[in-house]
Amino acid sequence: MIGYNTDYSGFGMLLNKNNVSTKNETVVILGTGGASRAVSEYLVDNNAKDIVMVSRDIDIGKQKYPKFNVIQYSDLNNIKVSGIVINCTPVGMYPHIEFSPIDKYNTVKFHTVVDLIYNPSETKLLKDAKEEGLKVINGLYMLIGQAVKAQEIWNNININDTITERVYKKVKKSL
């Protein structure tokens, strides 16, 4: 049997499109669910310096991610300035758009804020970060990247970046 995870590929495509390098970066991942697994593996494979997982339940988080530093959301107050924060939770997704997984005080500790949510296109987390002049990225390109990778796998083809970009622009325009 062979298994694939298109989250991994889609996330990599998202970072590449937005010129975000994780090499030697400290990265904080919000959430310890399925998407965070692919994101954390991508970060390991692409030489992130340090990966911190943030979990509502620290015991479950430590069980799932024994090789990473796992903290609770309240512990974010103790983190010094860091590199990238990635929201892998559904917090802020439509219809509950008034919420953010972290407060503005903690958002400003990062230079890049990635939210895997794509509906709405600008979550409260991204709005807060944008107001502070941080680089912000939503998850729409990851979604498109996942679909492209699935098509490549299932049809044994390669889809070039030009087609991926056209699909992305068309979907973005329709939202």
Is the separation of the CB atoms in 79 and 107 below 8 Å? no
Q: With cut-offs at 50, 70 and 90, classify the pLDDT of residue 22.
A: very high
**Long-range contacts of range 127-134, CB-CB < 8 Å, 24 or more positions apart?**
128/100, 128/103, 128/104, 131/104, 132/104, 132/107, 132/108, 134/107, 134/108, 134/110
Residue 52 reports pLDDT greater than 90: yes
Is domain 6-174 in CATH 3.40.50.720, yes or no? yes
- CA neighbor of 106 nearest in space, from 135, 77, 126: 77
Interval 107-123 mean pLDDT: 97
Residue 170 CA to residue 151 CA, distance in Å, equals: 17
CA dihedral 138, 70, 41, 89 (to 10 degrees): -30
pLDDT of residue 1: 86
Interval 17-37 mean pLDDT: 97
Residue 158 reports pLDDT greater than 90: yes
pLDDT of residue 41: 97
Residue 81 reports pLDDT greater than 80: no
Whether the pTM exceeds 0.85: the reply is yes
Is the separation of the CB atoms in 29 and 86 below 8 Å? yes
How many CA atoms does the CB half-sphere of 16 hold within 13 Å? 13
Residue 82 reports pLDDT greater than 90: no
